[in-house]
Every structure is written in structure tokens, then in C-alpha cells.
Structure 1
């Protein structure tokens, strides 16, 4: 067999159905796809590779999938900390967005986010923000994979003045990136409290017609549920279900306020949950019942949320928090084991975005989106179980190599497709502007 690249790692964690941990294996890559995953000695005999990369002490894993974020909000990192969600939104974030968010803001903020995510082993992310065409362009230029949300809200912003205009712009974005190798799109109505019935029903029909996902904040806080009962006479979950959005195309974000019948309905419909544990903890929004969801057969993915409420885009750290919090909420040390947390950050995220045939595991025929994590550091030694160390001990500074579609984007920890100095300088300029305005 001919291959362009053969990567030999001490451990290969393919995140396959058996959750195997393969020792002294190699992954062969050609034309941006995985050709084989096999023992290294066998690979040496059977594969003629143009280039061989040796990674002793490394774990090779699928690229991480950040299934929910707002990339450009990195420019608001730390702007309004230690506040409850609605105070944070109404008094700080939304006024700042109204004053500052434009294509330049989104471009520079997205570039900063992409740099951070790539360095942390994230190869694909699912975004929701204004000026999604800018987010898509910056992400594609960096060689990163993304699902770009076609944002919809009822109220006017600098980006659009009505739900109809948001949808029209989203459909234009869908046409532009229909055949792009790295960029997909999803409808992204912000939340039930920010979008009225008619646009939500229209999005349900369009998502079905175009076969694209729907990305929606849902049941994030107790107050959201109380408000919906007051204004609509039903819980947000029931309203979304009644309007036709509940199904396999829906990625429902947060889901901290769930009753048992709602968990069962999620399983029946095939809708996905994206868990954002650190953002939920920081905003005191509540606890997603991850162990219950997984036991019911619901696909649970993992997201960071935006850096304005997290305050980082560190999916390795999110895995650890998800595993620990899942145990605490379930009152069981066996709940959300390490291999389940790794699946949430890889194949489950890919499935929630409709990309599980393409990414999320190291299997023959899939795109070569891979991450090498160096486990030789002091805090990941001695090593008994590489999956456990990835979840409970490793840090993102140990991400050393990253490939997307077989193209290397991080080499020895350094980015190859972005200029860190320019990216950070642009962020600092925005920081000075926003700080002066926010304090004033």
C-alpha cells in the first residue's frame, strides 16, 4: 500500500465502538484520508510511505470537536465576570455587541479563537454568532473545519434587522459554502426566548429541506423555563417540540433543566445535547444530567461555549470537568468514565453536527483529522491508562501536532497557518477599545 504519511505513536486511541487503546500502532494517510490503522511492525512491512513521523510517548487521537461556541466573543474574554446569565447578557454583553460588533471585530475575534482552539487540539467547531460569513472565511483560511451557524434572532442588530433578513443571509451563506471541503452550515436560532414561533417553524422546514442541522440554546437556566411558562404556557422544550424542531437535526445546547419525560423524548426523537459544563458552572446556570442522558441513549457532545463566559476554549479541560461534574451530579464515581468523556469530545460531537461519517474517530476512509498529545510530561507519569490521563491529567500545552485533512496545522506546538503575534496584537487593540468603553 502507498501512503503519503505514516504516523507512528506509542498509543493510538481510535475512539471506535470498542473504545480500544492500541499500543505501538500507526496511522497511514493518503489524499487527506485514513488508509489504515495497524500495528507498526506490520505497517513497516506493508506500507510504502513518503514520510514517517515517529511520536514516542504520544497518544494519537481524533481531532477534538467543540460542539458549541461563539468564536468572536474571545474579544470579550473576562469583560464581565462573576455575574448571572441574564445580568451578564442584558447589562454587559449585548450593549457591548451593539457598540462594537462588525466584520472587523468578528474577523479578529475568530482568528484569536481559531489559534487557541488549534493549539488545544480542536480541529472542528460549531459556531453561533453575527457575520457568520466572516467567521467562515477566517476559519477556512486557517485550514480549520467548522460548522458555521446561520444566526437568527427577532430583534435588529448591525447584522440584520428582522428574522426574515437573518434567514435570507443564512441561506446565502449556505449557497456559498455548499461544496466547501471544510465549512458546513447550520441554522442557529439563538434561543426560544429570542426567536418567536413563526421563524422557528420556518427554520424547521428549511432544515429538513436542506438537510442541515439546527443549533439552539435550550433549557439553559431555571429562569428561562419560568419565563416560558409565563409567556407561552409551556416549557421551552415542549414549545420547541410542538414547533417541529425536536429531532435528529437538533443540537440543543446546555439542557441544565430537564425532567425525566424530556430525557425520554430526546432519546425517542434522536435529538442531541451539547454539554457546556464550565460555562454553566461559571454562570451558575444549573447541571446537565449527563449520566441520565447517556443511560437513556441520548447522544451527548461537549462544547466550551464562548470565551466570554468560560473563559477559555480548552476542550481537554472541558472533558475533565464534564467527567468530574457528571460523577458528582449522578452521585456515582462510575458515571461518565474517561472513555465516555473522550467520546463526547470527538465522535459524539461529530454526530451532533452530522459529520460522524467524516470525522470523530480514527477509522479507515475518514478524514485525517488527528491530534498528537505528548504524555511524557511529569504530571502524566507514570502512565497506566492513556485515556484516563488525557481526561484527568493532561493539559493542552501537551498538544504537539495537529493535522486536518492530512495537512499539518500545528507542528511541535507551533501554528503553521496563523501568525500568533499579529493575532494577539489585534486582540490587544480591541481589548483597549472595549475596556475604555465598558468602564466609561
Structure 2
């Protein structure tokens, strides 16, 4: 394959620190066989590679492709009938979610991601009833959908051994319920049960089948502390080390999870994982809203990554993660859109702005609040390090994969943008999905001006609409009844859950009651 050039009036090769990104004027990214060869002055690159096809223009900003570091489903829970409850109640409300073909479902959200410049996604799959053969078929559908579309995916199937609905053993929770409700819930929970060995078999199968694939990689995911035993965590760590793959683990998303960890371990969830030897650069903690100051020190000292899911934390009343403290301690932080962003979509440009502004605590020092380069790094290189692709993506420099997004700065800044504001700051705060002209993955154009080059979006959406227009199946009707019966009992379970929790002091103090 010959060389190709991505040209821009500005090329952002990467972020060096919270104050500075490397921005080249009138530059070109040279790539061959999906890999960046060099980056330099556009005219010099044209002279050096006179036969190379060129894409882009002086009105474009070329940035590293964005990385969505935490993702689960296509159609959102809200679309499928589940309002934005607090997380623990939300799980119960999702019991009645309708089944959607996983090829169509995966493509649905992937369209939104690619259109906002996301080139790689961390797809954390789960909550699929067994047996192993069925789950393997579901996993394959998801992976094939990303390959079909031309998008990168780091895939893992979340391991859940216990406590499948609330933060206590399934059998104990069933005893709390009226006989009629327990009789409905028991088979539902049983269908969610899969032998631990089958999770490892699934990983092995997918790993073997993924060999030779450039767009997809397989990793591991202990779903959360309350869902996995200590023996399970240790076995997953052993498997990850042997296979040399990272792990992604939901942790401390809510205050209820913080209290669960105290009851189970006598310490914090982070300290418990550290004691087990699970922390390090190969572990990403998803959410991390309720980390303590000491927890953040441990995460920083071990090189553990954190994925910040700003929209999800706000929508599900989980809290506001101490992002400013993460940054001050040098923690590697990625950015995730989780089930959906603040506007019920997967818009990474919007998510960067949200993270930039939610953490703007009162005061005068700029070092105390997020910066535009910082949130861009979270959405690119920081996110890359939470996936199985690691340092092979996230920056536009020689040897890395040629994943890029081209944004039309003329339209983004129209009718005026004063140049006293640095270009990148203006871009992060003003550019919208409609200004994304092209998304490039592995040197290949996969999205251009509203059009997906490999899959017919309109056809996919029509198929989804047709499928969900059909009447509910008997199984879906039963799950709807189950949801209505079990929801108040889940609510009652948590009513006094925090009554003995020690007093806490917040990281942020954005108001004054007295």
C-alpha cells in the first residue's frame, strides 16, 4: 500500500500536559498500511510523497481519533423503557428491557460514536443470559458489527458471580420477597448465572478467533466488587497476566457501593484490590466517583487508570467524581460515555465540554479546574491506555495507528472566533458533531459528512424500528410483570443501607447552605 496524506490547517499530534498540546500549522499526517509514518509541514510532505493521495484541507483540524473508554449497549435504557433512576434502582427497572438483535444494536450506537469522531470503543458486554454457547454467539455478533463498520473495539464480557440484583446473595434477597414475586425472580436470576470457568473459556475462545484482526482486541472485566468474589478476582488477574491483557472494572460508582465495600472488606474497595494485587497500569476503574483521598494516592502510585463517566454519573445520581484530584495526583484518566451521554447519544465533543465545566469549582487558580488540553487527553491518549490497544493509538505520531478525526473549523467557528483564544480551546468549547467532516480508522475513511462508507445507516435504523414495532413476546410480557413486582422490594432493600455509614467529607464545596 502506498502512502496517504491527511492534511489540515492544524494537526494536533497529542497532548503533552494539562496546559499544552502539540499543534502543528499547515501540516500533514503521512500514513501507510494503517500506520502513521511521519507528521510534518504539509508542503514538505507533498514534495516528499508526490504520488500520495491527499485528504483534508486548510480549513480542517486533524486530531487523534477519540476513545470511548466505557460503553455497553446500543439502544439506550431510556429508549427501552427505563427512566434515569438511581443506579441500584435502575438495575431493577431494566429487567423489562426488550431484546434487540445485537448486530443492529451495536451498529446503532457505533454510528453515533463514529459521527462524533470516536474511532475506538471499550465495549464492556454483559447481562446476557447463558449458556456459554449463546453468550459466545452474542459476543461474536458484537465484534463482527464493529469490524463490518470499520471501527476499533476493545471487547470484554463482564464477569458476575453473585449478588445479581442487589448487594447481597441472590438466595438471601429471594427470601425477602413474597412467594409470587420470588417465583418470578428466581428463574430470571438463574438464567443470568454462568459457571466461572465458562467466563474464562469465553475469553479463550474469543482470543483465538480474534487472531489476525486489526480492529478488535479482547480483554477481561471483573464486573464490580459486589459481583465478583475474591477468588474470582485473583483468578481473573492470573488470566490477564498470562494473556497480557488489561482489565476494566466498575468500581465505586455510587455511595452504596462504597458502603458495600466497607461491610465486605473492612476497608475501601481500592485498598482491598491493592491488597489482592489487582491494581496497576493494566487495571482501569470505571467511574471511581467515591474514591477517598487515600484511594487516589494508591491509584496514582500503582499507575492504575480511571475512566471518568461524567454524563452517566449525573444521570444516575451517582455523584461527581473528584476529577481535579485525579489530575493533581497524575492519575491516567480516560473518558467514557457509558450507556449514553447527557443528551441521550454518544457525542464525545459534548462529553468533553461537560467534563470541562462540571468540575469548575469556585476560585481563581486555573490549575484547580480542568483544562481543554486535559479533557482532550482524556478522550484520546488517556482513554487509549484503558484499552487493549494501549499506546498503539491515542496520538498522531510515527508508529501509531492512523486513527483520526477531521473537524471543519471554518464552520465550527463561523461567523467569528478571535485568535486571542487558542485554537484548541475554541475547538473543544465550540465544535459539535455536525462539524465533524470525516473519521479515519487505520488510515481508512469510514465516515464522511453524514455518510457511513461501509454500512447503510438508514437500513439499519429501519430494521430496528420494524423489529420493535412488533408486539411484545410472552417472555417480554413476563419480564414486564417481574419488573413491576420486584422494583419496590429493591427500593426497600436500600432504604436504610447507609444508616451506619461513617460521616464523609466531600471533595467539592460548590455552595453554602448557611
TM-score strictly above 0.5:
yes
List alignment gaps of at least 5 residues for structure 2.
127-137, 163-188, 482-514
Question: Equivalents in 2 of 1:154, 1:259: separation in Å?
Answer: 26
Alpha-carbon offset, residue 228 of structure 1:
2.2
Partner SS, residue 161 of structure 1: coil
Residues 202-248 of structure 1 deviation map (CA, whole Å, 9 limit, x = unaligned): 00111111111111100101011112222333322222222322111
Deviation larger for 162-171 or 305-314: 305-314
Map 1:199-210; keep pairs closer than 5 Å: 199-210=232-243
Question: Equivalents in 2 of 1:399, 1:159: separation in Å?
Answer: 40
Which residue does 1:8 correspond to in 2?
7
Question: Equivalents in 1 of 2:448, 2:244: separation in Å?
Answer: 36
Alpha-carbon offset, residue 74 of structure 1:
3.6
Deviation larger for 343-352 or 410-419: 410-419
The reply to whether residue 254 of structure 1 matches residue 282 of structure 2 is no
Corresponding residue pairs, total:
433
Q: Residues 429 and 383 of structure 1: is their aligned pair in 2 closer, same or farther, counting only changes over 3 Å?
A: farther
The reply to whether residue 322 of structure 1 matches residue 355 of structure 2 is yes
Q: Residues 49 and 360 of structure 1: is their aligned pair in 2 closer, same or farther, counting only changes over 3 Å?
A: farther
Partner SS, residue 50 of structure 1: coil
Larger Rg: 2
Question: Equivalents in 1 of 2:41, 2:412: separation in Å?
Answer: 27
Alpha-carbon offset, residue 431 of structure 1:
4.3
Question: Equivalents in 2 of 1:81, 1:142: separation in Å?
Answer: 30
Question: Could you tell me which of 235, 241, 244 is aligned with 2:277?
Answer: 244
Question: Contact conserved, 1:16 with 1:362, CA < 8 A, in 2?
Answer: no
Which residue does 2:46 correspond to in 1?
44
Alpha-carbon offset, residue 16 of structure 1:
4.5
Alpha-carbon offset, residue 186 of structure 1:
1.4
Q: Residues 318 and 21 of structure 1: is their aligned pair in 2 closer, same or farther, counting only changes over 3 Å?
A: same
Deviation larger for 248-257 or 135-144: 135-144
Question: Contact conserved, 1:307 with 1:313, CA < 8 A, in 2?
Answer: yes
Question: Could you tell me which of 372, 382, 405 is aligned with 1:371?
Answer: 405
Deviation larger for 165-174 or 253-262: 165-174
Q: What's the TM-score, normalizing by structure 2?
A: 0.79
Deviation larger for 269-278 or 330-339: 330-339
Which residue does 1:128 correspond to in 2?
124
The reply to whether residue 421 of structure 1 matches residue 458 of structure 2 is yes
The reply to whether residue 268 of structure 1 matches residue 305 of structure 2 is no
After TM superposition, the runs of 4+ consecutive aligned structure 1 residues lying more than 6 A away are: none
Map 1:384-395; keep pairs closer than 5 Å: 384=419, 385-395=422-432
Q: Residues 356 and 151 of structure 1: is their aligned pair in 2 closer, same or farther, counting only changes over 3 Å?
A: closer
Map 1:25-424; keep pairs closer than 5 Å: 25-74=27-76, 77=79, 79-90=81-92, 92-93=93-94, 95-96=95-96, 100-101=98-99, 105-130=101-126, 131-154=138-161, 161-307=194-340, 311-328=344-361, 333-334=366-367, 335-377=369-411, 381-382=416-417, 384=419, 385-424=422-461
Map 1:11-22; keep pairs closer than 5 Å: 11-17=10-16, 19-22=21-24
Alpha-carbon offset, residue 434 of structure 1:
8.9
Alpha-carbon offset, residue 325 of structure 1:
1.6
Question: Contact conserved, 1:107 with 1:135, CA < 8 A, in 2?
Answer: yes
Q: What's the TM-score, normalizing by structure 1?
A: 0.91
Question: Contact conserved, 1:151 with 1:170, CA < 8 A, in 2?
Answer: no
Question: Contact conserved, 1:152 with 1:167, CA < 8 A, in 2?
Answer: no
Alpha-carbon offset, residue 430 of structure 1:
4.9
Question: Equivalents in 1 of 2:28, 2:418: separation in Å?
Answer: 20
Partner SS, residue 297 of structure 1: coil
Question: Equivalents in 1 of 2:384, 2:362: separation in Å?
Answer: 25
Alpha-carbon offset, residue 341 of structure 1:
0.6
Question: Equivalents in 1 of 2:79, 2:342: separation in Å?
Answer: 7
Alpha-carbon offset, residue 152 of structure 1:
0.9
Partner SS, residue 400 of structure 1: strand
Question: Equivalents in 2 of 1:285, 1:163: separation in Å?
Answer: 29
